[in-house]
């Protein structure tokens, strides 16, 4: 006969068993590596050199993580990056870790995820191991240091900022690192489209550039090119390194979904897709970027969709369908304000080009969603050097910061004529 336990005692027994199972499970999670060989990482590391400094970096795959760190950290949502800095300057340099990932994980934070409830000395060894392998600050003059930085995961290609700080000095690098576990997966292949020089028009005059941007298509299309997709409500002007540096500083990560590939420009899927996520990996804002056959003073120009899904941060990242939130102007304006704090925004202007769609007459997109808009594109010019809010220049194209008639007001006035 099965004994009948009092409710409180039964609850305590269940808690004890759960604790023991958790402890046993944790004990099998981490195995201290016999040695750490970073040779395979060095072979595929992406290098960069500038201003007397050389850097190299590589993303660890699942196998690398297990071999070098004693566990597959991907199961905890951690993507380790190996970084090496050779300091050829006369000053000590500090790696600004939040420039690489504003939500990076500290070594002890990662180590804690591998602790067991009754680990004791074993937990202490884990702490010491992860602390030893992390990249140390500062990097003295004439020295080379290497180590791990624990970041949030990207898919396909990781945009890795390495911002090195010294007295009145910032030496920034932006590296594009392949994610080993995604190599060969067509979902995460970045196209990096390039136009022939003969097909590109280079503008030197801002007003001529404005005219060209206003003649760009209002929206993406479906694969056949016949049905309108989401509105192309932003333009980025600048080299991809500078764009990447600013975007990563504000916590945008590479993550492409199947529905991103349904949006086309001239028959092409987006060249780059980035997302900024909220707590719990809930989606917030997406950016779909296409290179266009325009340059401004030799700098590339990208046509961009800025949007967010209905439900925003309250829906799951793995939700099967992301439906465009109706107020696309709010998503665009939110993004513009985000970039004001990025340290990379040099100039900002607004142009026509999307075509107004008032709330009373919204426009439809591919998945049946509807949206309304004032019809403007935000044009953002990015620069390499770190900038402040007070450095941003506003172009006198469409005076967006002044009161202006909205698409709804314009539609209402037309109805009364």
Residue 272 β-bridge partners: 289
- Tens-place pLDDT, residues 163-200: 999 998 999 999 999 999 987 776 666 556 889 999 99
* Domain residue ranges of the chain, discontinuous segments joined by +: 36-182, 191-415
What is the rounded distance in angstroms from the CA atom of residue 58 to the CA atom of residue 78? Answer: 14
Q: Higher-confidence residue: 280 or 235?
A: 235
CB 163 within 8 A of CB 100: yes
CA distance readout (Å), 92 to 85, 103, 134, 170, 172: 11, 25, 18, 12, 15
Mean pLDDT calculated for residue range 153-162 = 92
- How many other C-beta atoms lie within 10 A of the C-beta of residue 155? 19
Question: Mean per-residue pLDDT for 88-100?
Answer: 96
- Judged on CB neighbours under 10 Å (0-12, 13-18, 19+), 28 is exposed
Rounded mean pLDDT, 235-241? 95
Rounded average pLDDT over 366-376:
93
Q: pLDDT digits over 45-74, tens only?
A: 999 999 999 999 999 999 999 999 999 999
Question: Would the pTM of this model clear 0.85, i.e. be above it?
Answer: no
Where does the pLDDT of residue 9 fall: very low under 50, low under 70, confident under 90, or very high at 90 and above?
low
* d(C-alpha 170, C-alpha 168), whole Å: 7
Mean predicted confidence (pLDDT) in 22-33 = 62
- How far, in Å, CA of 250 to CA of 273, rounded? 15
pLDDT tens-place string over residues 249-260: 998 988 888 889
What is the per-residue pLDDT for 403?
57
Which tens digit of pLDDT belongs to each residue from 330-370?
Answer: 999 999 999 999 999 999 999 999 999 999 999 999 988 89
Q: Is the Cα dihedral 267, 273, 278, 282 positive or negative?
A: positive
| CA dist., res. 163 & res. 144, Å (int) | 16
More confidently predicted of 217 and 280: 217
Q: How confident is the model at residue 23 (pLDDT cuts 50, 70, 90)?
A: very low
Flag whether pLDDT at 279 surpasses 60: no
Confidence class of residue 400 from pLDDT cuts 50, 70 and 90?
A: confident
Q: What is the 3-state secondary structure (H, E, C) of the chain?
A: CCCCCCHHHHHHHHHHHHHHHHHHHHHCCCCCCCCCCCHHHHHHCEEEEECCEEEEEEECCHHHHHHHHCCCHHHHCCEEEEEEEEECCCCCEEECHHHHCCCCECHHHHHHHCCCCCCCHHHHHHHHHHHHHECCCCECCCCEEEEEEEECCCCCEEEEEEEEEECCEEEEEEEEEECHHHCCCHHHCCCCCCCCHHHCEEECCHHHHHHHHHCCCCEEECCCCCCEEEECCEEEECCHHHHHHHHHHCCEEECCCHHHHHCEECCECCCEEEEEECHHHCEEEEEEEEEEEEEECCEEEEEEEEECECCHHHCCCCCCCCCECCEHHHHHHHHHHHHHCCCCEEEEEEEECCCCECCCCCEECCCCCEEEECCEEEEEEECCCCCCHHHCEECCCCCCCCCCCCHHHHHHHHHCC
- Phi-psi bin for 283: left (phi > 0), alpha (psi -120 to 50), beta? beta
CATH number of 36-182: 2.60.40
- Spatial CB neighbours of 392, under 8 Å, sequence gap ≥ 6: 340, 345, 346, 347, 348
């Amino acid at each position: 006969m099965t004994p009948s336990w009092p409710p409180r005692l039964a609850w305590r027994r269940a808690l004890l068993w759960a604790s023991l199972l958790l402890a046993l499970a944790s004990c099998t999670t981490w195995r201290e590596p016999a040695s750490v060989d970073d040779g395979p990482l060095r072979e595929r590391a992406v290098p960069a050199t500038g201003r007397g400094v050389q850097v190299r970096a590589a993303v660890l795959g699942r196998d690398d993580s297990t071999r070098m760190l004693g566990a597959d950290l991907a199961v905890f949502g951690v993507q380790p990056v190996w970084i090496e800095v050779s300091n050829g300057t006369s000053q000590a340099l500090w790696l600004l870790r939040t420039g690489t990932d504003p939500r990076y994980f500290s070594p002890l934070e990662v180590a804690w995820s591998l602790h067991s409830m009754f680990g004791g000395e074993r937990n202490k060894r884990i702490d010491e191991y992860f602390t030893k392998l992390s990249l140390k600050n500062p990097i003295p003059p004439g020295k080379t240091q290497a180590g791990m930085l624990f970041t949030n995961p990207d898919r396909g290609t990781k945009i890795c900022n390495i911002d090195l700080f010294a007295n009145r000095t910032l030496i920034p690098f932006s590296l594009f690192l392949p994610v080993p576990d995604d190599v060969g997966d067509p979902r995460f292949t970045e196209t990096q489209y390039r136009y022939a020089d003969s097909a590109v028009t280079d503008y030197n005059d801002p007003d001529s550039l404005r005219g060209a941007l206003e003649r760009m298509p209002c929206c993406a299309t479906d694969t056949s090119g016949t049905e309108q997709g989401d509105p192309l409500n932003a333009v980025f002007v600048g080299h991809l390194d500078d764009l990447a540096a600013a975007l990563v500083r504000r916590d945008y990560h590479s993550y492409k979904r199947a529905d991103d590939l349904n949006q086309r420009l001239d028959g092409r899927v987006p060249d780059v897709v980035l997302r900024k996520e909220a707590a719990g990996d809930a989606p917030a804002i997406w950016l779909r970027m296409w290179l266009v056959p325009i340059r401004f003073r030799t700098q590339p120009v990208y046509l961009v969709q800025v949007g967010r899904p209905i439900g925003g941060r309250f829906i799951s990242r793995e939700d099967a369908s992301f439906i465009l939130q109706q107020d696309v102007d709010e998503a665009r304006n939110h993004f513009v304000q985000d970039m004001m704090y990025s340290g990379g925004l040099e100039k900002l202007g607004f142009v026509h080009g999307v075509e107004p769609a008032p709330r009373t007459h919204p426009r439809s997109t591919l998945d049946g969603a509807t949206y309304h808009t004032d019809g403007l594109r935000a044009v953002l010019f990015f620069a390499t050097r770190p900038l402040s809010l007070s450095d941003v220049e506003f172009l006198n194209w469409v005076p967006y910061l002044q009161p202006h008639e909205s698409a709804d007001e314009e539609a209402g006035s037309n109805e009364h004529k």
